Amino acid sequence: MKINLLNYTLEQLGEYFESIGEKKFRAKQVFRWMHVYGVSTFEEMTDIAKSLRSKLQELAEISVPELVTEKIASDGVYKWALAVGNGNKIETVFIPDGERGTLCISSQVGCALECQFCSTARQGFNRNLTAGEIVGQLWWANKRLGKDPKGEKLITNVVMMGMGEPLANYENVIKAMQIMLDDNAYNLSKKKLTLSTSGIVPALDKLGRDCPVALAVSLHASNNEVRDKIIPLNKKYPIEELLSACKRYLANSPKDYVTFEYVMLKGVNDDLIYAEELIKLVRGIECKFNLIPFNPFPNSGFESSSRNQIMKFQKILQNGGLITTIRKTRGEDIDAACGQLVGRVMDKTKRQEKWGVIHLVN
């Protein structure tokens, strides 16, 4: 079986080349051909000796996810469904915004965390993506989008916020991010590569040591009672432990703040008393809040907070000294908005039967 070279960091590729009797420096040439120039065949690598190209053709491949469908929203957002073998699909979203272009990348097929308000979790968990399948989404998107009139790539930022919990697929996500950061590949800065997590505390501590990038934390509640209901992981790593880990992470973070994501759920976590609780909760942590209007999907059991309630919630946080933004919903008409990826699927977890419509506050 051929190996997929997209799974290798530059250092690992060098070791592989040595193992097949080739000079280590050849690895950098091949690495650049794959990631900088976006080639998918060895024949395209014109400055590589034919003998090496033939050897690689026998032993290896450059395998990227295959396009299943492409949808373009009315606001210019792209959503691609990509096949990753055995009938599995993932979704990748590109969000243009002026000179900024953000690619939202998936790390797993499905998700095992069962966050109650996320459509991806509804399909259950199938498997982790390989490093090649993760970075292959960036490879594919660069190829599809091309460059702007000035010759610059349209993707300026990458967020690990697609399907799955990145820290639950730690080794493959780290390898993929190392490739994205490599000067000989996509040359992203650590400030423009963001990992979003629901809060696997031991893995978050490890991330701070191994590959610190910009951090976004799916907080979504101001106390354990509410968070236990909507994010089951909180029962294992409660808010106090998570926030302590955030403080530790800031010592190595490329940014001097953590972004706390807070999806606004009517009657669940949007009472204004919770905004007051948040101010006290995050005291001593450099942070910003991103309030996210809930994006509906079939049989979710939730409703979005009203615009008026979200703005009141924002005002309280701002008056408490917290930088707070309201995320603009993008790509909603093609189910590409936050929490909507692969939303129209069978509810494998039967959560609707288990929970019904959740209302904690009248």
- Extract the tokens encoding 247: 């403080």
Per-residue model confidence as pLDDT tens for the chain (362 residues):
899 999 999 999 999 999 999 999 999 999 999 999 999 999 999 999 999 999 999 999 999 999 999 999 988 999 999 999 999 999 999 999 999 999 999 999 988 887 877 777 677 888 999 999 999 999 999 999 997 777 788 999 999 999 999 999 999 999 999 999 999 999 999 999 999 999 999 999 999 999 999 999 999 999 999 999 999 999 999 999 999 999 999 999 999 999 999 999 999 999 999 999 999 999 999 999 999 999 887 778 889 999 999 999 999 999 999 999 998 876 566 554 444 445 443 334 333 333 333 223 32
- For the full predicted model, state whether its pTM sits above 0.85: yes
Domains of the chain: 3-61 (1.10.150.530), 66-355 (3.20.20.70)
DSSP H or E run through 92: strand 89-97
Rg (CA), the chain: 21
- Name the residues annotated as catalytic: 91, 338
* Residue closest to 123 by CA, chosen among 133, 112, 134: 112
DSSP H or E run through 12: helix 10-19
